[in-house]
Amino acid sequence: MSTTSNFPFAFSVAGGDTASALAAGCPVVLKAHSSHPLTSLRSFEALSSGLAGSDAPAGTISLIFGQAAGSLLVAHPAIKAVGFTGSLAAGKALQNVINDRDEPIPFYGELSSLNPLVITANAAGARSAQIAHGLFTSFTGSAGQLCTKPGIAFVPTGEAGDNIVEVIRDLVEQAEGQVLLNRRIFDAYQEISQRLINRGGAVVAAHTATATGGFLATPTLLTIKATHVTAELTEECFGPLIVVARYENLAELDDAFRQLPNSLTATVHVEEDEPELLTELTDQLAPRSGRIVYNGFPTGVRVSWAQHHGGPWPATNSLHSSVGVTSIRRFLRPFVWQDAPQSVLPEELRDGPVAVPRRVDGRIILPAEG
């Protein structure tokens, strides 16, 4: 299981992958991220201390360092599943290592996501300033280094849509530089930004004066006509950048959607008086995402029963969520004892009262019910 640089706690050594694997009864071996090796080590030490105080078996959790060690770990026959949050290229490299194993194992990767956001004309007319401020906050929060950051927003033509773009432009021009996590992310932000312009045809509508020092990046607003959206324009750019695509009608939206890669999220801003449009947009975006957000913004992922933090490839390669209660399913292996005598069954499956909830003939039975 590999740690991540953009979430050194929530998705790293002490993060949800580790918690769900431990809850499933699996020992965990983690690879520390090169961007925060000491944070990884301190987190590991804290977990190790807690496990020792709980009389957990030795080796319940382990930590390794280095990319080469990570590849060897994934190839080791004792490893039975891999969780990973990172780039599409790194995910493919890990999958190639798994493919060369004698025994294939599950690879649960969260990889790449553009997260389209659509604003209807009525929504733009009703609350242009509110949407603009929320969208700016969403694509620049944490320096745009969130996996659910909206990377492309479809804004209607006309005065209301112009107002949204103008507000975002003003906010971008007033914004200060933000620190990206490491040299690789910083260099990629610069390179992909230029590709979106040079190959994708986007126009720089606003850009903060160039920041200097360290890995400072400045927010960027690119614009383009929806009819000009191509695959070259839909590359994920990790950092505080957004592409605003201006559309005139639903036919233009439909054509542009066909160019989009699948994502973790899709967002719709719509008014109550357009239910048919809402249904149509939902039907178009649902096959392309794992979660649809209505009249909100996708950044931020709640750990809850109903959460699904996943999406069709290349957002993830799994049907299971990496966040929320059901994330434990990634590290469970189904097994059936058919017509088994009571003596060979685990205690939780035997007849009579047990100390854990069970599902019997489709109905959940709590311990108090017997």
Q: Which pLDDT belongs to residue 356?
A: 87
Least Cα distance to 124 among 159, 75, 73, 171 occurs for 159
pLDDT at 248: 97
Query: Among residues 185, 300, 204, which one has the least CA distance to residue 243?
Result: 204
Q: Is it the case that residue 158 has pLDDT exceeding 90?
A: yes
Decide: pTM greater than 0.85: yes
What are residue 369's phi and psi, to 5 degrees? -85, -15
For 349, other C-beta atoms within 10 Å of its C-beta total: 13
Strand extents, DSSP E, 66-160? 82-85, 107-110, 116-119, 152-156
Cα 118 from Cα 244, distance rounded (Å) = 10
pLDDT bin (cut points 50, 70, 90) of residue 152 is very high
Buried b (16+ CB within 10 A) or exposed e, 225-256: ebeebeeebbbbbbbbbbbbbbbeeeebbeeb
Helix ranges, 107-182 (H): 121-140, 159-174
Eight-state DSSP code of residue 289: E
Predicted confidence (pLDDT) at residue 215 exceeds the cutoff of 80: yes
- Convert 22-69 into a string of H (helix), E (strand) and C (coil): HHCCCCEEEEECCCCHHHHHHHHHHHHHHHHHCCCCCCCEEEEECHHH
> Which pLDDT score, from 0 to 100, does residue 368 have?
74
- Strand-pair partners of 155: 246
* pLDDT tens digits along 187-202: 999 999 999 999 999 9
Q: What is the mean pLDDT of residues 67-87?
A: 92
Report the DSSP pairing between strands 203-207 and 220-225.
antiparallel
pLDDT in tens, 264-303: 999 999 999 999 999 999 999 999 999 999 999 999 888 8
Predicted pLDDT of residue 329: 93
Smallest CA-to-CA distance from 221 within 127, 128, 155, 296 is with 155
Q: Which residue has the higher pLDDT, 126 or 215?
A: 126
pLDDT at 304 > cutoff 60: yes
Q: Name, in order, each residue with C-beta under 8 angstroms of 261's C-beta and a sequence gap of 6 or more.
A: 112, 114, 234, 236, 314, 315
Residue type at 179 in one-letter notation: V
Question: Is the confidence at residue 310, as pLDDT, over 60?
Answer: yes
CB 35 within 8 A of CB 5: yes
As given in the structure block, the two tokens for residue 132 are 């603009």
Q: For residue 211, give the DSSP letter.
A: P
Residue 161 pLDDT exceeds 80: yes
d(CA 65, CA 347): 39
pLDDT at 370 over 60: no
Question: Which band of pLDDT confidence, cut at 50, 70 and 90, is reported for residue 212?
Answer: low
Return the bridge partners of 337, or none.
none
Give the chain's domains with CATH numbers: 16-111+317-330 (3.40.605.10), 116-294 (3.40.309.10), 339-369 (no CATH)
Judge whether 265 and 148 are in contact, CB under 8 Å. yes
Indicate which residues carry an active-site annotation.
110, 147
Grade residue 313 by pLDDT with cuts at 50, 70 and 90.
Answer: very high
More confident residue, 209 or 246: 246
